[in-house]
Structure 1
Amino acid sequence: MRAQQYLEQVQVSDLRPTQMTVGVAEVALKRQQWAQLKLKERSKLLLNHWFPAVKGPKGLFFIVDHHHLGLALVQEKVKSVWVMQQADFSMLEPDMFWRLMEFQHWAHPYDEKGRRRKYSDIPQALEQLKDDPYRSLAGEVRKAGGYAKESAPYTEFLWADFFRPLFKKTDLRSSGGQGLPESVVTEAIALARNPKAQSLPGWSGVSSSHHKSL
């Protein structure tokens, strides 16, 4: 059942994920940004970055966005954050809860290889999220303007699946061990603008039909 949205302070360690993976490179970047903030700036960030969440079984909050930030805050030993409750599904049995979450586009049960998994395979803690380097690549391409940010959830995962067969996993490792190779990001931006990707959300290239009309 839908509930009026309101803020509640929750222990970061109690937050439950609604997806199975993150881009570890993106988490590392958020940790670097956090480390550069002064105490007052950190407090301001936490006040302004609410975690949209659904109240689920056992009264736990299942976040539907900001998984990268959440994991970064866990690793930085932050104690609590503010959540914005989107709905109250706490009365539902777990299987029905997850079915309704996915129906509302609030859950993404796909693993680091892009494979569909059971709801029971979704991690119970942010620290258990696995690394999907293709998700990191999708995030870097979006930030570089390779495609536009969309309001629809999980669009970066669709782009990650688009890049998955185009790059080897070893191609995504930088020699320094942090971030993605610049050459790979540049190549991925070009691929994202290719007409072959025009069905994906946020595509911002030039279609083949447009070329023919010029």
Structure 2
Amino acid sequence: MKTPRRPPVDRAAALSGPSSDEWRVAHALLTLMHELPLPTGFPQRTELEDEMRTLEIDALRPTQGTHGRREVEKKADAYRAMSEHDLAQSIRDKPVPIVNGPASMCFATDHHHVAAALKLAGIGHVPVIVVADLSSLSESRFWVEMENNHWVHPFDAHGRRMAFRALPQHVWESQEDDFRDLAAAARDAGGYVKTDVPLAEFRWAAFFRRYLPAPTSESEYQALIPKAAALARTELALGLPGFEEASASAASQR
């Protein structure tokens, strides 16, 4: 029996790789990595270059069960409006922290919204920094370490805990959570201040989910924003990251 011939390989297509737009952004990004000063708190350049590399967004495994769709779309619109230089600088300033896990998988521990928005804007790669190598651990021990370090948030859009294996495969596949959007909107409206506390917005989302009704339309969601910002300034929110005690005291005296 004759072996069927393989179709001819389109070498130009095979070597083309990312789109021309992505190549221009990548080139600008690499230039910026060597020309611009590092953000405050980053290691020195020689150390950073050892730790930072680019990775396909498709290869990032999320460690969060939900995201805010509106926040992702808002960021994607902002990325599309940027010049190539500004876009490359913005990408460079927020490398995605990852943990090397079992089976050579790379787990993103933060900046899920950034990665999802860049994917939506047509960018295929992001700079990453390895914060831990847990690739030698068993799957069960790996997740124990991830949870102990607050690197995973296995909860669905209703605030219910989910199995680690039920987490989405890609950053853009996370469940849409109106309260995760609301947490960001309430912060932007002055309800609380942004902090570096891990998973802070998810804690605020859980807080708002407890005290506010779930919106069933965009108008209901918009109406919840000032209510959420006001609620964040009450003593009910005391202890949450970014809570401002002065604002709460002023609110209680009104």
Report if TM-score (shorter chain) is over 0.5.
yes
- Corresponding residue for residue 213 of structure 2: 168
1:186 aligns with 2:226: yes
For 1:27-42, what aligned pairs fall within 5 Å after superposition?
27-42=72-87
1:11 to 40, 48, 56: 56
CA contact 1:192–1:205 (8 Å) conserved in 2: no
Letter matched to residue 9 of structure 1: T
SS in 1 for 2:240: coil
Instruction: Give 1:136 shift.
Output: 0.3
Q: Gapped runs of 5+ residues in structure 2?
A: 1-46
Q: Gapped runs of 5+ residues in structure 1?
A: none
Letter matched to residue 162 of structure 2: R
Instruction: Please list the CA deviations of residues 155-183 of structure 1 after superposition, one character each: whole Å capped at 9, or x if unmatched.
Output: 111111111133322256238xxxx51x3
Q: Write the distance in 1 (CA, Å) between the matches of 2:229 and 2:167.
A: 30
Instruction: Give 1:211 shift.
Output: 6.7
- Corresponding residue for residue 199 of structure 1: 239
Instruction: Please list the CA deviations of residues 89-132 of structure 1 after superposition, one character each: whole Å capped at 9, or x if unmatched.
Output: 01112221111001011111111111111111111211220101
- Corresponding residue for residue 158 of structure 2: 113
* More displaced stretch, 159-168 vs 84-93: 159-168
- Higher-Rg member (1/2): 2
Q: Write the distance in 2 (CA, Å) between the matches of 1:8 and 1:106.
A: 20
TM-score w.r.t. length of structure 1 = 0.87
1:154 aligns with 2:216: no
SS in 1 for 2:211: coil
Q: Write the distance in 1 (CA, Å) between the matches of 2:141 and 2:149.
A: 12
Compute the RMSD of aligned alpha carbons: 2.1
Q: Write the distance in 2 (CA, Å) between the matches of 1:172 and 1:148.
A: 27
**Following TM superposition, where does structure 1 have runs of at least 4 consecutive aligned residues deviating by more than 6 angstroms?**
none
Identity of aligned residues (%): 34
Change (3 A) 1:54 1:174: same
SS in 2 for 1:140: helix
CA contact 2:53–2:128 (8 Å) conserved in 1: yes
Paired residue total: 203
Instruction: Please list the CA deviations of residues 9-57 of structure 1 after superposition, one character each: whole Å capped at 9, or x if unmatched.
Output: 1111101111100010100110110111112222222222211111111
Q: Write the distance in 2 (CA, Å) between the matches of 1:97 and 1:156.
A: 24
SS in 2 for 1:31: helix
- Corresponding residue for residue 96 of structure 2: 51
1:71 aligns with 2:116: yes
- Structure that is richer in helix per residue: 2
